[in-house]
Chains A and B, each alone.
Chain A
Amino acid sequence: MAELRTRIAGLEMENPTMLASGILGQTGESLFRIVREGGAGAVVTKSIGLEPREGHGSPCLLELDNGILNAMGLPNPGIDSFGEEMAVALKAGAPVIGSIFSDSPSNFAALARKMEGYGAAAVELNLSCPHAEKFGLDTGSDPAKVAEIVSAVKSAVKMPVFAKLSPMVPDITAIALAAEDAGCDAIVAINTMRAMKIDIDIGKPVLRNKVGGLSGRAIKPVGVRAVYEIAGRVKVPVIGAGGVYTGRDAVEYLMAGASAVQIGSAVRERGIGAFGIVSAEIAEFMKENKYKSLNEIIGLARGK
Chain B
Amino acid sequence: MDIVTVTGVFNETKNIKTIRFKWAGRSKPGQFAMVWIPEVDEVPMSISFSGEESGITVLDVGEATWALHNLKPGDRIGIKGPLGKGFSITGKDILAVGGGSGTAALALAVESAIAKGKKVRCALGAKTSGELLFKKRFTDMGADVRVATDDGSEGHHGFVTQLAEKLIAKKKPDLIIACGPERMLAALTEVAAQHKIGIQCSLERYMKCGIGLCGSCQCGRYTVCADGPVFTGGQLAEMADFGKWKRDPSGRKMHC
Q: Do A and B bind each other?
A: yes
Look across to chain B and name the residue whose beta carbon is closest to the beta carbon of A36.
Answer: B221
For chain B, residues 27 to 80, give those with C-beta under 8 angstroms from any C-beta of chain A: 34, 36, 38-39, 41-43, 76, 78, 80
In the assembled complex, B202 has its CB within 8 A of some CB on chain A: no
| Chain B residues with CB below 8 A from A22, complex form | 214
Identify 22 residue pairs between A and B in the complex whose beta-carbon atoms are under 8 Å apart, listed by A's number: A23-B215, A24-B213, A24-B223, A27-B247, A30-B221, A32-B221, A33-B221, A54-B248, A54-B249, A55-B250, A57-B41, A58-B41, A59-B36, A59-B78, A60-B209, A70-B214, A75-B214, A75-B250, A75-B251, A77-B253, A201-B76, A267-B213
Q: Please list the residues of chain A having a beta carbon within 8 angstroms of any beta carbon in chain B.
A: 22-27, 29-30, 32-33, 46, 52-55, 57-63, 68, 70, 72, 75-78, 81, 199, 201-202, 204, 206, 208, 264-265, 267-268, 271
Instruction: Please tell me if B193 contacts chain A, counting CB pairs below 8 Å.
Output: no
Interchain CB contact under 8 A, B213 and A52: no
Q: Which residues of A contact B208 (CB under 8 A)?
A: 55, 58, 60-61, 72, 75
Looking at the assembled complex, report how far the CB atom of A184 sits from the nearest CB atom of chain B, in whole angstroms.
27
Chain B 194-223 interface residues, beta-carbon cutoff 8 Å to A: 208-216, 218, 220-221, 223
Task: Indicate if B1 sits at the interface (CB-CB under 8 A).
Answer: yes
Q: Which 10 A-B pairs have the closest CB atoms?
A: A58-B42, A24-B215, A61-B209, A52-B250, A77-B251, A54-B249, A59-B42, A26-B215, A201-B3, A77-B252
Q: Is the CB of A58 within 8 A of B43?
A: yes
Q: Which residues of A contact B214 (CB under 8 A)?
A: 22-24, 26, 60-61, 70, 72, 75
Query: A182: shortest Cβ distance to chain B, in Å?
Result: 30
The interface centre, meaning the residue of A59, A63, A206, A271 with most chain B CB atoms within 10 A of its CB, is A59
The one of A46, A201, A208 in contact with B41, judged by C-beta atoms closer than 8 angstroms, is: A208
A59 to B35, CA, bound (A): 9
The reply to whether B251 and A27 contact each other, CB–CB distance below 8 Å, is: yes
- Give min CB distance, B25 to chain A, whole Å: 20
- Report the separation of the CA atoms of residues A45 and B221 in the bound assembly, to the nearest whole angstrom: 15
Q: A265 to chain B: closest CB distance in Å? A: 8
Residues of B within 8 A of A76 (CB): 250-251
Mark B residues whose CB is within 8 Å of A: 1, 3, 34, 36, 38-39, 41-43, 76, 78, 80, 208-216, 218, 220-221, 223, 247-253
A77 and B250 form a contact (CB under 8 A): yes
Report the bound CA distance from A70 to B208 in whole Å.
10
Residue among A25, A29, A76, A271 having the largest count of chain B Cβ atoms under 10 Å: A29
Closest CB of chain B to A264's CB: distance in Å?
A: 8
- Contacting residue for A46 out of B34, B78, B215, B223, CB 8 A: B215
**A55 & B212 in contact (Cβ 8 Å cutoff):** no
Do B251 and A26 touch (CB < 8 A)?
yes
Chain A residues near B211 (CB-CB < 8 A) = 61, 63, 268
CB distance from B219 to the nearest CB of A (A): 9
Inter-chain contact total with CB atoms closer than 8 Å: 116
The reply to whether B38 and A267 contact each other, CB–CB distance below 8 Å, is: no
Instruction: Specify which chain A residues have a CB less than 8 angstroms from the CB of B252 in the assembled complex.
Output: 52, 77-78, 81
Bound together, the chains give a CA A46 to CA B3 distance in angstroms of: 31
Q: Does B78 lie within 8 Å of A70, measured CB to CB?
A: no
Take A58-B42, A199-B78 as given contacts and tell me if A29 and B218 are in contact as well, using a CB distance cutoff of 8 Å. Answer: yes
Give the distance in Å from the alpha carbon of A252 to the alpha carbon of B85 in the complex: 35
Check if B1 sits within 8 Å of A29, measured CB to CB.
no
**Which residue from A23, A55, A58 sits with its C-beta under 8 Å from B213?**
A23
Measured between beta carbons, the chain A residues less than 8 angstroms from B76 are 201-202
Give the docked Cα–Cα distance between A264 and B209 (Å). Answer: 14
CB distance from A54 to the nearest CB of B (A): 4
Shortest beta-carbon distance from B209 to chain A in Å: 4
| Chain B neighbourhood of A208, CB < 8 A | 41-42
Tell me whether B250 and A61 are in contact (CB under 8 A): no
Closest chain-B Cβ to A37's Cβ sits at a distance in Å of 8
B221 to chain A minimum Cβ distance, whole angstroms, is 5
Instruction: Name the distance in Å between B190's Cβ and chain A's nearest Cβ.
Output: 22
Chain B residue with minimal CB distance to A207? B42
| Nearest-Cβ distance from residue A239 to partner chain B, whole angstroms | 20
CB nearest neighbor in B for A32: B221
CB pair B1 A206 closer than 8 Å: yes
Given A24-B223, A26-B216, A30-B215, decide whether A59 and B34 contact each other with a Cβ distance below 8 A: yes
Residues in A whose Cβ lies below 8 Å from that of B43: 58
Q: How far is the CB of A207 from chain B (nearest CB, A)?
A: 10
B218 touches A26 (CB 8 A): yes
Smallest beta-carbon distance B255→chain A, Å: 15
Additional A-B contacts beyond A46-B215, A58-B208 (11; CB < 8 A) = A23-B214, A24-B214, A52-B248, A52-B252, A61-B209, A61-B213, A78-B250, A81-B253, A199-B38, A199-B78, A264-B213
Expressed in whole angstroms, the Cα–Cα distance for A133 and B42 within the complex equals: 22
- Interfacial chain B residues near A54, Cβ < 8 Å: 248-250
Contacts of A23 in B (CB 8 A): 213-215
